Amino acid sequence: MEKDQYYTIGAFSEKTGTSIRALHYYDEIGLLKPEKHPSSGHRLYTDQDEMTLHKITCFKFLGYSLEQIARLMSDSSFDISLIETLHNQKKELEGKKEHIETALKAVNRMIGLLEEEKEIDGAIFMSLINSIQTEKDQREWLEQNMPEGAADRLFNKPEEVMASLDKSFIQLAKQVKRLAGKPVDDPEVQEMADRHMKMSLQFVGEDVLAAFGSVDTAETEKFVNQIPSPYTKEEEEWLERVFEYYMLHNEKYPFRQ
């Protein structure tokens, strides 16, 4: 009968590609406990330990925590009873995938904007990131309260269109911050309001903008609160007065009361 081949922790680490630190931790929590040299107390690993480590690695690959893996390690085979835990794991991984995809979208858009603009106001920058972060909630609200297909039109735009809209939003937000506090009837202020309205029409469409007027105020506030504003309270109040003046004096405004 062949004698077991023993490996020191360094040799086992090199053989399996697992760090010594990880092996120490697995030993501490009882997940992978090697034999100990009778005199020195040094860890000694066998080929059987490598098979155990392979099982740990497989479960880690599937996204299980070490605590979950410890419970699964006692099984020598797996049957239909594992389906429930695999379904739960699938759901968790899908959630992580969605988070990563959303984060990547935000990162890519911010890279493009910084390359273009060189410098962006912190409040504006964070507002854009938070808007991307809450897109799922925004989409759900639009699907429940707006005309059919509105959510798809808003969020399924080509990347180059979204990049152009991001750039326009930043330039407009900069202009708002620069003009804030000026008289609402100032020509430059009203030009900004007109530009703001045209951009809104371009982004959401006239039908969606009109539909907002028929939605309960409390519901509308839920949607607005999902998109953090880049403006201070004072800037928000000033902007509200600007648009009140704009709507009263602009005959072309499509939804003027």
pLDDT at 257: 42
Q: Which residues contact 36 (CB under 8 A, 6 or more apart)?
A: 42, 43, 44
Q: Where are the domains of the chain?
A: 7-77, 93-249
**pLDDT tens digits, residue range 207-229?**
766 666 666 667 677 776 767 78
What is the amino acid identity at position 116? E
pLDDT attached to residue 85: 79
57: pLDDT strictly greater than 80? yes
Residue 21's CB is within 10 A of a number of other CB atoms, namely 9
What letters, b where the CB count within 10 A reaches 16 and e where it falls short, cover 99-137?
eeeeeeebeebbebbeeebeebeebbbebbeebbbbbee
Q: What is the pTM of this model?
A: 0.57
Average pLDDT over residues 45-62: 87
What average pLDDT does the chain have? 81
Range 7-77 classified under CATH 1.10.1660.10? yes
Q: How many CB atoms within 10 Å of residue 163? A: 16
Matching residue, tokens 């006692």: 74
- Range with top average pLDDT, 36-40, 145-149, 159-163, 238-242: 238-242
Tokens matching residue 190: 């009203």
Report pLDDT for 25.
93
> pLDDT confidence of 153, banded at 50, 70, 90?
confident
Q: What angle do CA 103, 172, 180 make, to 5 degrees?
A: 120
Tell me how far apart the alpha carbons of residues 57 and 47 are, in angstroms, rounded to a whole number.
15
Residues 80-91 have a mean pLDDT of: 79
Q: What is the pLDDT of residue 79?
A: 64
Q: Provide the residue type at 181 as one letter.
A: G
Identify the band that residue 2 occupies on the pLDDT scale cut at 50, 70 and 90: low
Q: Per residue, what are the HEC states of 188-252?
A: HHHHHHHHHHHHHHHHHCHHHHHHHCCCCHHHHHHHHHCCCCCCCHHHHHHHHHHHHHHHHHCCC
- For 67-111, the DSSP string reads HHHHHHTT-SS--GGGHHHHHHHHHHHHHHHHHHHHHHHHHHHHH
Pairwise CA distance, residues 41 & 156, whole Å:
62
Residue 7, helix vs strand vs coil: strand
Q: What is the pLDDT of residues 161-208, one digit of tens each?
A: 778 888 888 888 888 889 999 999 999 999 999 888 888 777 776 776
pLDDT at 252: 55
For residues 223 and 141, give the distance between their C-alpha atoms in angstroms, rounded to a whole number: 7
Q: What percent of the chain stands above pLDDT 70? A: 87
pLDDT band at 27 (very low <50, low <70, confident <90, very high): very high
Q: Which whole number is the average pLDDT over 23-31?
A: 92
